[in-house]
Structure 1
């Protein structure tokens, strides 16, 4: 798929090839695309756009089997998903997308302390987090090194570490809708998910026979 990947292009592709999708994968992709479409309809409502895109991410990656058998920490589940995606990304579409946006929302998000978990741990008085500023600088260097090495899994993991903090702020009521004090990270987070999620889903549709896991709450008649 060339050019900007949007809800329309994803939906057209899905309709053309979905007959060959395994049932569980078809449901996963159908759900993710629906939430990408809802996110695109949000306009400048960055809070809503971020939340809808995060739902799309959950629909794409979450494997019910892992949570039922031996619960896996969410960040570990993220890395597993990123590993599968990047192994199939022969054209390095994910890496190129991050590179194109690096000087914009990606860099700005990584420079924002308000989506860095150790900052909040220190702010909340948790012992052992007094060195959050050193960790913040180390995280920036780690990202730069991973980016230089073309390590897409590590790059995505570092970016989604920040996005996960933002997700918690919004979903757990730690922010006010359309608040002036957190506009930058919400705007940048929504922009990052907005260009990554369509690529993730498109790659999944290119490889429908991969084991993408069991989606939560399957359709039961």
Structure 2
């Protein structure tokens, strides 16, 4: 079973080795750990925990270059980050987290069309999405193939593509706090992020000299 890294463990490690961090990477880790810590204060509130953990994810992966070039496809950006993490994950900690701990919740999440973006595009009257069911089935097949072949980065990309829809529902007021309607995906989403985000940050600290890009909103004096 993959270990559950806590804010205290991450912070202790960061303080011990942060002198060797490049400035931009150090800022990413500092910010991400702070939001992981805030999420731990939300026991019993999965909505808040999910949102704070997603902010930690943004702190860890989002690149300043996206500001310069305009909005990018989030899935492609996620996939680049996940490929880098999995290539550096010599002990297969991410693989074990996904396959051993969350195989069930991940499969349930990917079968839920309420966190599939084309479903909502169609129901919001946007043209070109009448075939959302075909897209959903194609996505499910592609996910199944990636899952069966052990392509961890691709599996993470599919999972976070769905979690991104859930993030939008919460952040943009498209859901009711503590609603019974979307409780399962919020609960599972918070649980998945609660294990993966500390693991992502820990791997980043193990490889501080990798190219993690420049973070959004650098500190300006």
Superposition TM-score, scaled by structure 1 size: 0.93
The structural deviation recorded for 1:75 is: 2.3
Aligned residue pair count: 220
Output the CA distance in 2 between the equivalents of 1:14 and 1:165.
Answer: 31
Output the CA distance in 2 between the equivalents of 1:38 and 1:7.
Answer: 9
Superposition TM-score, scaled by structure 2 size: 0.93
**Could you tell me which residue of structure 2 aligns to residue 79 of structure 1?**
79
- Aligned-partner SS, 1:181: coil
The structural deviation recorded for 1:185 is: 1.3
Output the CA distance in 1 between the equivalents of 2:122 and 2:24.
Answer: 42
The structural deviation recorded for 1:131 is: 2.8
Deviations 1:102-131 (A, max 9, x none): 343212211211101121122223333233
The answer as to 2:23 corresponding to 1:23 is: yes
The structural deviation recorded for 1:17 is: 0.7
Alpha-carbon RMSD across the aligned residues, in angstroms, is 1.6
Taking the TM superposition and a 5 Å limit, the aligned residue runs for 1:40-189 are 40-69=40-69, 71-189=71-189
Output the CA distance in 2 between the equivalents of 1:181 and 1:174.
Answer: 12
Contact 2:46 2:187 in 1 (8 A): yes
The structural deviation recorded for 1:69 is: 4.3
The structural deviation recorded for 1:133 is: 2.5
**Could you tell me which residue of structure 2 aligns to residue 215 of structure 1?**
215
The structural deviation recorded for 1:81 is: 1.0
Contact 2:7 2:36 in 1 (8 A): yes
